[in-house]
Every structure is written in C-alpha cells, then in structure tokens.
A and B are shown apart, each in its own frame.
Chain A
Amino acid sequence: MPTITFLEPDGKAHVVEAQLGLSVMEVATRNDVPGIIGECGGCCTCATCHVYVDADWYGRLESADEMEQGMLEGAVEPGPLSRLSCQIKVTDAIEGLVVSIPAGQL
C-alpha cells in the first residue's frame, strides 16, 4: 500500500497508508485527516476536497480534466498546484505523494 502524507496548514503531518483503488479524498476522510470534506463523495461537484500538491509531485500526476479545472477555479484560494483530491486515484505510482490541506474548504 502506498503512503500519502497530508500536511495541515500549520505543518502537522498525517502519514497514511492508502488503499489501492480509492481516491486520495477517500483516503483522507476514511482516516480522519481534518480539512478534507468530500461533500459530494467524489463526484467532482463540491470542491471541498481541494488540496495543494507538492511541487515535485504535481507534474507526475495525470493532469486535471476540464471539469476539475473548472471546479478548481471556484475553489477556496486556488493556486497553480491545486487539485481536487477525489480526482487523484491511489495507484502504486503515487507512493510517497505529499499534499497540503488548505486553511478552509467552504
């Protein structure tokens, strides 16, 4: 199982074993990582699973589709490294992924 590190805005790290096939959002919500809500359950329609991907990792992930890009524009404080974590699937390729949790989602 790949490990994912979630960083809270104050720097506190949550290192979590991620089950293959889930999304990064589901990994967070199932492991009580605070600050990732996932209201719509991964349907790309709430943007409450917004994260900032570590700069080294951003380019290694499959890029966001149009739907996700549109949702991200309206997320809270989007930036160049923003992604919706429900759209990132857990595969062996993301072993060691690091994402930061924004200060707010709503």
Chain B
Amino acid sequence: MSESAATQTIVIVGAGQAGGETASELRKQGFTGRIVLVGEETHVPYRRPPLSKAYLSGTATEESLYILPPAGLEKARIEFIGGVRAERIDRATKQLHLSDGRVLDYDKLVLATGGRARVLSLPGAERANVFPLRSIADVQAMRTHCLDGKSAVIIGGGFIGLEVAAVAIKLGMKVTVLEGLPRVLARVTVPEVSTFFERIHREAGVDLRTGVQITAFEGEPLVTHVLLGDGSRIAADFILAGIGQVPNVELAQQAGLAVDNGIVVDEYSRTADPDIYAAGDCANHPNEFYGCRLRLESVQNAMEQGRVVAAGLLGKAQVYNVVPWFWSDQYDLKLQMVGLSAGFDRMVLRGDLNARAFAAFYLKDGRLIAADTVGRPQDFMFAKKLVAMRAVVDPQVLADEAVPLKSLLPAAA
C-alpha cells in the first residue's frame, strides 16, 4: 500500500455480493482510507441465493440475508449510500455522479453493478402479476400472489425457475413450468441431468412442459391466462419470468470502457483504466484455467473476484483464476456443480439417476473437467480438488460407488 493510502478514497458502485465483499476485504487487508459503497437498492449488501429458496418460502427473514448489517458497516467504517444510483463516471476528473445530484471524488473506482432480470418481450409482460426475481423488493412484491391454492406459471426452466417451482409447490400452489428449449437446465448441464430434474418436478406435482412457445398473455389489468403455440391456455394468478439476466454495463459503456458480454477486465480484474476495476456478475474476465473469457453469475465468483479486486487495489495484484462452482436447492435436493462441462468427451455416472443421489463426472482427454452431483457432497468436494488439479482419473474408479473419490487424490492433498 502506498503512503498516501490513508487519504485515498475508494468508491464502489453496487452494494451487492461483490461490492460488499470488496469493501469488507479492503478493511480486512488493512486499508485505512475512505470506502464509499453506493447502491441503487436501499438494502445493505445481502445474499441473493435465498431469494428463490428460503426467503420466498418464508423460512428466512430479511435480516438473515444481510451480509453486512448496518452495525457491521459502521464498525468497518464503510460509508453506505443506499437507494441512490450512480449515473455517470467522469474519468478525466475522477468523479462519480449520483442520481441525487451528489458528486463523489474517487482515487479508485470499483464497478460491482451485477445484472438485472431479462424482461419478457411479450405484450402484457408489464402487468402487475408478472414478476422478475432479482431482489428483496421483487420477492416482497410477489408474496401476496404466492398463496396456497393459487396458480403459478413459471416461464423458464433454469435454476431460478425450478427453485421457485419447488417453493411454490411447498406453498400449496398449482405450478406450471414452461420452457422453450427441449429440456430444462439446457444451458448448464447434460440431457441426463435435465431428465432427472424434470422427473423430480413432475413427481412433485409440477406440470412441466418443454419445447413450448408462449404466444400471449390474456387478462387485464392482471394476466389471467398464458396462451401457448399449441393452443393451450393456462390459468395464472402469478407469473414468474425466469429467463436469465443481463449484465449492468451501461455505466462502464458510457465511460468509454470496453464492454463485451460484461465489462471487460484483465486477469487482475482491472479495466483498461488503471483506476477502475470490475467484479461479479457484470465483469468478463480472461480465465487462464479454461483459456477463454468468462462472465460468471455465481456467489463464488462475486466473492472471490471481490477479494481479488481488494488485493489489487492495495497493490498486491492477484491473478483471478477460478474453477467455478455453483449449487441449487430444489425440494430436499441439493445440486452441486463444479467446473464447466462444455467440450467433455466422456461422461461417467456414479450412483443411479433414477434414485435421488448421483454424481455425473465429465472428462476430456482423460482429465476430470467438471462434475454435477446431487446428494453426494463428498464427491462434490473431492471433484472440486481433482478438477483444480486437472487430474487424470480412472473412469472405473469414478463409476464405482464403493471406492471413495478421495483415493484418487495424491497422498499429500
């Protein structure tokens, strides 16, 4: 850290998971200057995964989502400006213009603006019972529509759609999931795993339809029915649009920073402007491990990249080189995924896809590159280590439930 660090101001745009982690990590690593955290939402930094899980189902309180409660922010001397949007960066004067008219001077700026839910391009998508799911406010707004006996129509069979389907069933709703592609989770896993989740949801009572085309919303002021290309008409009290998200890149773009599926950063999470960093869902980084650029949408990515940014800001530049992992909770099942399976040439199954616990391992040229596990946490944990080591593994051992994966690790690990 330079001598002037104590008088430096670091401004972080976006008080989400990456912004919050960057701020607290700066303090943990001894930064003594000023930290200002600007967030469009009124909330202090909070965890998003429970939004489609325990918070929607009513088993977690809002307070329990907070990563940095107000007292913690105060203790760490992090100035939080909530409910205010950063509108414009003036790189020449190193100033950030806020929606309330304030102008903040910065020495270093961090963009942790996350993403927003993609909006359905269908007339009627703006009606009051059609919801995105990204924030506490979204869940609060949808609560009064998510009631026992009511009908939920979920558009999109991705993680968020399927998690909400599971919660809605638990709440006693009649649930339909509509997916445009031939299978659910098509972008993130193999057909076998998609089939597993389709079965689980159907067994739970979800009317799950794939390969469908939504043609119109019927009903005003609230949507009452969703119409499909095959002529079916599905009654709906509550509609969730779970069709992915788009990164919030406009602030960077207007400042003349490169944007290509996210804000372009280098391996240290820096943009082309040496005083501006980016982290989390909004950032696109070169991943040495995979030899390509990646924009990840996960808690692990937000947290770990946030810490890399903090280190970089303090002059201890670290290369961000992560093996991605992710999880999803649906009913009593936990799916845990590690690595990126794209490009695998062999899949090996451990356990039984017809049961409720299995592991799918993906190999390329004999090396383990990824795994999806359900109900097999130890396999997930050891696969994580093996993927990071680019280990060459014996497919027979992977397939044999009797042999712990641990035995594939070198003795020292």
> Which residues of chain A come closer than 8 Å to B50, judged between CB atoms?
41
Interface of B is mostly: helix
Cβ of B384 under 8 Å from chain A = yes
Q: CB-CB contacts of A43-71 with B at 8 A, as 1s and 0s?
A: 11111000000000000000000010011
Asked whether A44 and B334 contact (CB < 8 A) given A21-B64, A39-B299, the answer is yes
Cβ of A30 under 8 Å from chain B = yes
> Which residues of chain B come closer than 8 Å to A75, judged between CB atoms?
381
Closest chain-A Cβ to B413's Cβ sits at a distance in Å of 10
Q: Report the separation of the CA atoms of residues A21 and B65 in the bound assembly, to the nearest whole angstrom.
A: 12
Interface pair A74/B28, CB less than 8 Å apart: no
Q: Report the separation of the CA atoms of residues A40 and B75 in the bound assembly, to the nearest whole angstrom.
A: 23
Q: Report the separation of the CA atoms of residues A47 and B382 in the bound assembly, to the nearest whole angstrom.
A: 12
Contacts of B287-302 to chain A: CB distance below 8 A: 299-300
Q: Report the separation of the CA atoms of residues A56 and B213 in the bound assembly, to the nearest whole angstrom.
A: 61
Interface pair B69/A73, CB less than 8 Å apart: no
**Nearest B residue to A23 by beta-carbon distance?**
B64
Interface pair B334/A45, CB less than 8 Å apart: yes
Q: Report the separation of the CA atoms of residues A41 and B300 in the bound assembly, to the nearest whole angstrom.
A: 10
**Nearest A residue to B326 by beta-carbon distance?**
A45
- Total residue contacts A-B, CB cutoff 8 A: 65
> Which residues of chain A come closer than 8 Å to B304, judged between CB atoms?
39
Asked whether A71 and B28 contact (CB < 8 A) given A30-B72, A40-B299, A45-B327, the answer is no
> Which residues of chain B come closer than 8 Å to A70, judged between CB atoms?
376-378, 380-381
Q: Report the separation of the CA atoms of residues A16 and B187 in the bound assembly, to the nearest whole angstrom.
A: 44
Interface of A is mostly: loop
Asked whether A22 and B377 contact (CB < 8 A) given A40-B299, A43-B329, the answer is no
Cβ of A96 under 8 Å from chain B = no
Asked whether A71 and B381 contact (CB < 8 A) given A39-B299, A40-B299, A41-B67, the answer is yes
Number of interface residues of A (CB under 8 A): 21
Cβ of A32 under 8 Å from chain B = yes
Q: Report the separation of the CA atoms of residues A41 and B64 in the bound assembly, to the nearest whole angstrom.
A: 10
Interface pair B69/A30, CB less than 8 Å apart: yes
Interface pair B378/A71, CB less than 8 Å apart: yes
Cβ of B33 under 8 Å from chain A = no
Cβ of A79 under 8 Å from chain B = no
**Nearest A residue to B300 by beta-carbon distance?**
A39
> Which residues of chain B come closer than 8 Å to A41, judged between CB atoms?
47, 49-50, 67, 299
Contacts of A51-106 to chain B: CB distance below 8 A: 67, 70-71, 73-75
Closest chain-A Cβ to B351's Cβ sits at a distance in Å of 13
Closest chain-B Cβ to A43's Cβ sits at a distance in Å of 6
Interface pair B327/A73, CB less than 8 Å apart: no
Q: Report the separation of the CA atoms of residues A40 and B329 in the bound assembly, to the nearest whole angstrom.
A: 12
**Nearest A residue to B71 by beta-carbon distance?**
A30
Selected A-B contacts with CB under 8 Å, 18 pairs:
A30-B68, A30-B72, A32-B27, A32-B75, A32-B76, A39-B304, A40-B49, A41-B49, A41-B67, A44-B377, A45-B327, A45-B334, A67-B375, A70-B378, A71-B380, A73-B378, A74-B384, A74-B406
Further 11 A-B residue pairs, CB within 8 A, beyond A26-B64, A73-B406: A39-B300, A39-B303, A40-B327, A43-B49, A45-B334, A70-B380, A73-B377, A74-B377, A74-B380, A74-B382, A75-B381
